[in-house]
Chains A and B, each alone.
Chain A
Amino acid sequence: MLASISSAVVHGFDGYLVSVEVHVSNGLPGCNIVGLPDASCREARDRVRSALLSSGFKWPQKRVTINLAPSSLRKEGACVDLALALALLAASGQIPIESIKGVAAVGELGLDGKLKKVPGLVCLASAINSDVLFVPAEDASEAALAFKGEVRGAETLLEIVGGLVGLSELPGIIDVPEYVEEVIGPDLSHVAGQTLARWALEISAAGGHHLLMVGPPGAGKTMLASRLSGLLPELNNEASLTVSKIHSAAGLSVLTGGLIKRPPYRAPHQGASMVGMLGGGTGSMRPGEISCAHNGVLFLDELGEYPARMIDALRTPLEEGVIRVSRAARSVTYPADFLFVGAMNPCPCGNGGAAGKCRCTRSARQKYCRRLSGPILDRFDLRVELQPPDPLVLFDTKLSESSASVAKRVSQVRQKSLERGVVSNSKLNQSQIEKFAPLNDQAKLLFKNAIEQQLLSGRGFARVRTVACTIADLLGGRKFIDKEIAAAALQLRSPLTSVFGDE
């Protein structure tokens, strides 16, 4: 007898519908799985066999052929276990075939018949188009977010089978979890002083401009960066689903309630591997940190401590907003459109050559800074140097401006960007800049001088104009980019000669 049921597998960060077909016929007893399963998927046979037996069912003493269609797609992981068990029960006549009509199932089986959660449930559920979806109860709400029909979460195989044949109640329907306002994280009001860096942070959030902060230890670089995602507006529905899918595929917990609404903030450690950072992997492909930071913030603290090769590998994603991970077996394109924030000390000892304080030799400083190549440096639209806060400011009990009030200005600028047809001002193209942020004569002259003095590259000029546009939006009420704004945009893109220059 033949039975089939829908399930899904994750490929990249998308779920793909898989039809699990089981055929039980006379012949030499045995079981074959066809349809390009990888090792972990092939092992399903043994898991399902034990799970059936321990749940009190029989394993047919017949010839069993299992097909995972479409056979062109490589299947990984244990997410088809549950579907396989149900189809096998139907095909071997232990439950009626009609009972599994319109049913889909995703989940891993333990040998005792218990259901276990699988990574990427959001992606899997969004790929399936059935009436009912059975999933492990543990993270069933994740599936409910992306599934159109009813999602039922069960603890064991027996619960589901009992419900299907009418011996007991079907496992309960899981509702879409109510959205819980996420805690926005630390507040900007606790950052003392740092006028310039705060301003740069606001511009960065408002216009999506990559930000580099250089300064001695303890100046507050990390503090500032961790407050950036709190300044960004909430994700829209589409972005929210994409981010949730990526996080789900990466095996990160998606839920505090509902899809991810807050822009993610990722701060991988310097010890991260190339694959961990960019995505990939030998067994199953997994999105890397830069994809987990999609639509959010990627913060690399101590930028000088990361391998130079890794930093340089960020160049293409920064430019294109995606990362193409290619392996012998296959290649996957993950979205990776993130706001890049870097922080570093000006030299290994952190005092940046200050007379009497810095303990680094010239060559040690140069070596430290050479980790950051020119092209990467050029991609930071905002580069500021921080200094340790004035002690008087630290004793000031008056709170600085709060995240909420800055976020309000940020969201107004973002709204303007949306009206212009882009997510943020940093995405404005040449003709759009010309249209929305024309320069007046004085500003033109200022930029011309900067280009002549080789302070600005061609790309730099285009970038600095988008920053100027953001500053103008934040200030409001200006028709042209005037000299004031141009000067600010230019100086916020400091060449950091004291750190990266050669003298």
Chain B
Amino acid sequence: MQETKLALAALTELKAMGPARIRWLLDTYNDPLKILEQVQRNKLDKSNLPRGVNLDLLSIWSNQSRKINLAQIQKRLETHSITLLTKQDSYWPFEDDPEPPAIMFAKGNLDLLNNLNRIGIVGTRRCSSIGRKISYQFGRELSDMGLSVVSGLAQGVDGAAHKGVLSVNGGPIAVVGSGIDQIYPKSNTSLWNQVLENGLILSENPLGSKPEKWRFPARNRLIAALSVGLVVVESHKKGGSLITVDEAIARNKTVLAVPGSILSPSNFGTNQLLLDGAVPVTNAVDVCTEVFGFNHTNIKKLSADPIQLDSISQIILDNCLAGPCHFDLLAQQLQIDLQSLMLKISDLVDQKLVSWDGSNVVVC
């Protein structure tokens, strides 16, 4: 691995060293190795420091950087099979970005970055089961149309979008707020591993970074930067996904939102976006039409083969579209043998149309 890249990776580990400060250092000194050396010897030009950087911080940097061992960093990266991306790489997706990261840690299938038709799907972690279903469906359809789906591997909307992509054997791209070796949230461990296996995980944070609060707005900016269009599935009034929206607007990206009930708190944010001029979308075709124009050549037609259901399965499905539906209700309504009803539900679960949660039938 190139020494300059390692030096950059090392710099990210310093206290309060964000992408803006690394950019400042690069602009001033150009060569990362030289920067590292100057930082170590506390020989940076002290006349022209940016806001927030003072002499104390410089001496802290100096102390921290002297403990840095590039070989060790390289070894750690190699054991985790993590690739470093900088603007010299052909894969670099932040060419014209106003606030590009200095360096990206990447793990997984890098070739996915070759697909430039990237759509971001974001939304609240505390989404409704319908939101999860919508997110899953968008992920699934967009991926099926040959687009690349970017999200944040969080709970709720993010995770569902990735799952949707995985369901059609697509390669999801996830930008995470922790270090790439720190699985967060822990409950997403299996999803995290599936994304690694089939897709790509990106992070601008050094290895071992804890999922601190301030890292997430920065992560949101990267999702906005990567995407051509940004779909907001569900958002609370002051949700974190609105930060992503702001970043997207700042970058002149198309913002799309899924309309929802005016009574559901998890739709307040998205409905407000629609009022403010975001484009309403109800399916993947809407997204493509808006972002790429309908006859975009790179896009496959949505492989439409609606699943044929018998009447009972259809009733089950209809019942649970509005929310989880308890077994008792179905049994009461359908008046068939309990075990036959169980079989119908089991078949629907097999087709991944619903899931069996507690004793409720829930749409996936």
Please report A residues at the B interface, Cβ cutoff 8 Å.
193-196, 199, 214, 346, 355, 384-387, 390, 393, 446, 449, 471, 475, 483-485, 487-488, 490-492, 494, 496-499, 501-503
In B345-364, which residues have CB < 8 Å from any A CB?
345-347, 350, 356-360
Given contacts A471-B339, A485-B339, A491-B345, contact A387 B326 (CB under 8 A): yes
Bound Cα distance A377, B329 (Å):
26
Q: Which residues of B contact A194 (CB under 8 A)?
A: 328
The 7 A-B pairs with the shortest beta carbon distances in the complex, nearest first, are A385-B358, A502-B187, A487-B346, A488-B342, A385-B359, A484-B343, A196-B327
A365 CB to nearest B CB, Å: 13
Between-chain CB contacts (< 8 Å), 7 pairs: A195-B331, A385-B326, A385-B359, A491-B345, A497-B358, A499-B358, A501-B187
Q: Which of chain B's residues has its CB closest to A194's CB?
A: B328
Given contacts A195-B331, A387-B328, A503-B187, contact A491 B338 (CB under 8 A): no
Please report B residues at the A interface, Cβ cutoff 8 Å.
128, 155, 159, 186-187, 264, 324, 326-329, 331-332, 338-340, 342-343, 345-347, 350, 356-360
Q: Is the CB of A484 within 8 A of B328?
A: no
Given contacts A193-B328, A384-B359, A385-B358, contact A491 B346 (CB under 8 A): yes
Q: Which residues of A contact B155 (CB under 8 A)?
A: 503
Q: Is the CB of B339 within 8 A of A484?
A: yes
B164 CB to nearest A CB, Å: 16
Q: Is the CB of A488 within 8 A of B338?
A: yes
Q: Which residues of B contact A393 (CB under 8 A)?
A: 332
Q: Which of chain B's residues has its CB closest to A362's CB?
A: B126
Q: Which residues of A contact B338 (CB under 8 A)?
A: 195-196, 199, 488
> Knowing that A193-B328, A497-B358 are A-B contacts, what are 16 other residue pairs whose CB atoms are under 8 Å apart, sorted by A's residue number?
A195-B332, A195-B338, A196-B327, A384-B359, A385-B326, A387-B328, A387-B359, A387-B360, A390-B332, A393-B332, A485-B339, A487-B339, A491-B345, A497-B357, A502-B187, A503-B187
Q: Which residues of B contact A485 (CB under 8 A)?
A: 339
Q: Which residues of A contact B329 (CB under 8 A)?
A: 390
Q: Which residues of A contact B186 (CB under 8 A)?
A: 502
Given contacts A195-B328, A196-B331, A446-B346, contact A494 B340 (CB under 8 A): no
Bound Cα distance A384, B357 (Å):
10
A480 CB to nearest B CB, Å: 14
Q: Which residues of B contact A471 (CB under 8 A)?
A: 339
A234 CB to nearest B CB, Å: 28
Interface of A is mostly: helix
Q: Is the CB of B358 within 8 A of A195?
A: no
Q: Is the CB of B350 within 8 A of A449?
A: yes
Q: Is the CB of B331 within 8 A of A355?
A: no
Given contacts A195-B338, A196-B331, contact A498 B360 (CB under 8 A): yes
Q: Is the CB of B360 within 8 A of A488?
A: no
Q: Which residues of A contact B187 (CB under 8 A)?
A: 501-503
Q: Which residues of B contact A386 (CB under 8 A)?
A: 359
Bound Cα distance A499, B328 (Å):
18
Bound Cα distance A496, B360 (Å):
9
Q: Which of chain A's residues has its CB closest to B185's CB?
A: A502
Q: Which residues of B contact A449 (CB under 8 A)?
A: 350
Bound Cα distance A386, B264 (Å):
25
Bound Cα distance A355, B347 (Å):
28
Q: Which residues of B contact A503 (CB under 8 A)?
A: 155, 159, 187
A369 CB to nearest B CB, Å: 12
Q: Is the CB of A498 within 8 A of B357?
A: yes
Q: Which residues of A contact B359 (CB under 8 A)?
A: 196, 384-387, 491, 494
Q: Which residues of B contact A195 (CB under 8 A)?
A: 327-328, 331-332, 338
Bound Cα distance A336, B128 (Å):
44
Which residue of B159, B339, B356 contacts A494 across the interface (Cβ within 8 Å)?
B356
Q: Is the CB of B340 within 8 A of A484?
A: yes
Bound Cα distance A496, B359 (Å):
8
Which residue of B326, B328, B347, B358 contacts A496 across the interface (Cβ within 8 Å)?
B358
Q: Which residues of B contact A490 (CB under 8 A)?
A: 346
A352 CB to nearest B CB, Å: 8
Q: Which of chain B's residues has its CB closest to A454's CB?
A: B190
Q: Is the CB of B345 within 8 A of A196?
A: no
Q: Is the CB of B342 within 8 A of A487?
A: yes
B160 CB to nearest A CB, Å: 10
Q: Is the CB of A487 within 8 A of B128?
A: no
Bound Cα distance A346, B358 (Å):
10
Q: Which of B186, B339, B345 has the most CB of A within 10 A?
A: B339
Q: Which of chain A's residues has its CB closest to B328's CB?
A: A195
B187 CB to nearest A CB, Å: 3
A424 CB to nearest B CB, Å: 20
Q: Which residues of A contact B340 (CB under 8 A)?
A: 484
Q: Which residues of B contact A385 (CB under 8 A)?
A: 326, 358-360
Q: Which residues of A contact B342 (CB under 8 A)?
A: 484, 487-488, 491-492
Q: Which of chain B's residues has its CB closest to A497's CB?
A: B357
Bound Cα distance A251, B360 (Å):
44
Q: Is the CB of A196 within 8 A of B339?
A: no
Bound Cα distance A471, B343 (Å):
13
Q: Which residues of A contact B357 (CB under 8 A)?
A: 494, 497-498
Bound Cα distance A442, B200 (Å):
37
B191 CB to nearest A CB, Å: 10
Q: Which of chain A's residues has its CB closest to B159's CB?
A: A503
Given contacts A386-B359, A503-B155, contact A355 B128 (CB under 8 A): yes
Bound Cα distance A446, B359 (Å):
18
Given contacts A355-B128, A446-B346, A484-B342, contact A491 B328 (CB under 8 A): no
Bound Cα distance A346, B357 (Å):
13
Q: Which residues of B contact A199 (CB under 8 A)?
A: 338
Q: Which of chain B's residues has its CB closest to A474's CB?
A: B339
